[in-house]
Amino acid sequence: MNEWNIQSRARQCQACGKAFADKQPYHTLLLDEKSDYLRLDVCESCWKNQYSQGAQERKGFVSCWQGVYEAPPAAPPDPIRRETAETLLRRIIEANDPKYAAASFILAVMLERKRLLKVKEQIQGEGRRAFVYEQPKTGDLFTIPDPQLQLNQLEQVQRDVAQLLEHGLPGAPAEAHDPEAPSGVLPAEPATAAAAPSPPDPAADPAAAAG
C-alpha cells in the first residue's frame, strides 16, 4: 500500500456532483482500497441519504468526519521567501523519495504543533503505523508513515530539516531568501519532536510522547 500521499478535498459532492458552496458543511469518508486510501467528500444531503446508515460497516472503512468547505482564495503572487514547512512537506511527498521519510514526519509534527495540521486518524497495517493529517483550510489530507525514529537519530534529522527549510530539496528550483519572511514560515525547530506519537487516539497530539 502506498502510505505516503496527499489527497485534496473535493470541490463538489462526490455522490451527486453538486459544487460545494463556501462555508457549506460536508462529510469525509476514508476507505482502505488495499492499493491506496480513498477519500470521499459528500454533501449533507447525500450523507444522510446514502452514507450515514452503516458507514462504519462499509468495506474498507477507516474513518469519517465532518468539515466546513472553504472556497479557495485567488492565488496571490509568489512572494520571495524561504521554504515554508508545509510547502516543503508537499514537495517531499511529491518527490516520493524514502530518504526524506524522517524529515516529512518531523515537518508534520511541527505543523501539528503550530495547529496548521490536525491528526484525523492513525492507521496500523503490515507492521507499520501511518498518520492521516488534515490541513484545515484546504481540507487536504497528508498520509505520513511513522519512521520509528530513535533518540540518537533526532539531532541529525533536525539538522536535515533545517537545511531543507533553508535551501529546499536538492534539484528543486532555487528561491531567493527574504530576511523578513512571512509569518507562515516556520523556524527549523523540530527539536523536541523526539519520539513517535502515542498510539491510537485520532485526536491525540502526535508529538505528545516527545514532550
Give 148-196 pLDDT, tens digit per residue. Answer: 988 889 899 999 999 999 888 886 654 433 333 333 444 444 444 433 4
pLDDT value, residue 7: 87
pLDDT at residue 204 greater than cutoff 50: no
- Report which secondary-structure segment, H or E, holds 209: none
Q: Which residues contact 17 (CB under 8 A, 6 or more apart)?
A: none
> CA 23 to CA 67: how far, in whole Å?
9
Q: Cα–Cα distance between 175 and 198 in angstroms, integer?
A: 37
Which stretches does DSSP call E strand in 49-161? 61-68, 118-125, 128-134, 141-145
Res 18: pLDDT: 95
Provide the residue ranges of all domains of the chain, joining segments of one domain with +: 5-68, 85-210
| Rounded CA separation 146/112 (Å) | 14
The CA-CA-CA angle for residues 74, 115, 117, to 5°, reads 65
Cα separation of 124 and 206, whole Å?
Answer: 14
Mean pLDDT taken over the chain: 79
Give the least confident one: 20-24, 46-50, 107-111, 175-179: 175-179
Lookup: cell for 145: 508513515
Geometric angle at alpha carbon 141, from 3 and 110, rounded to 5°:
90
Note the pLDDT tens digit of each residue in 99-138: 999 999 999 999 999 999 999 999 887 778 899 999 999 9
Question: What are phi and psi for residue 108, nearest 5 degrees?
Answer: -65, -40
